[in-house]
Amino acid sequence: MNTYRVRYILELIRRQGKLPTDPYGQILSAHELLAWFGLDECLTTGEQLYVEKELAAMVEAELCMEGLKQAEQLR
């Protein structure tokens, strides 16, 4: 696994801001994000698995932040 390539890709995704959503406003799954960014074609299987785990964590964090923002608006 090329850790430099993986780190660079993840940083590039993080710098783009919010993760892509479907037409209903739901954040894409980690597997869908791999395809969205074209990573399923340029990474090895091991790199894909690692990046997919990182993307899943990013999705979870973004959903958590959205929940916190909504809760704050209700106060």
User: C-alpha 23: how far from its chain's center?
Assistant: 17
CA dihedral of 43, 48, 51, 55, whole degrees rounded to 10:
120
Query: Which pLDDT value is given to residue 35?
Result: 95
Name the pTM for this structure: 0.88
Query: Which pLDDT value is given to residue 39?
Result: 94
Tokens at residue 60, please? 């979870």
Mean pLDDT per block of 10 residues along the chain (75 residues) reads: 93 94 95 94 94 97 92 82
| Angle of helix 3-15 versus helix 45-74 axis, rounded to 10 | 30
Give CA–CA dist 52/34, Å, rounded.
7
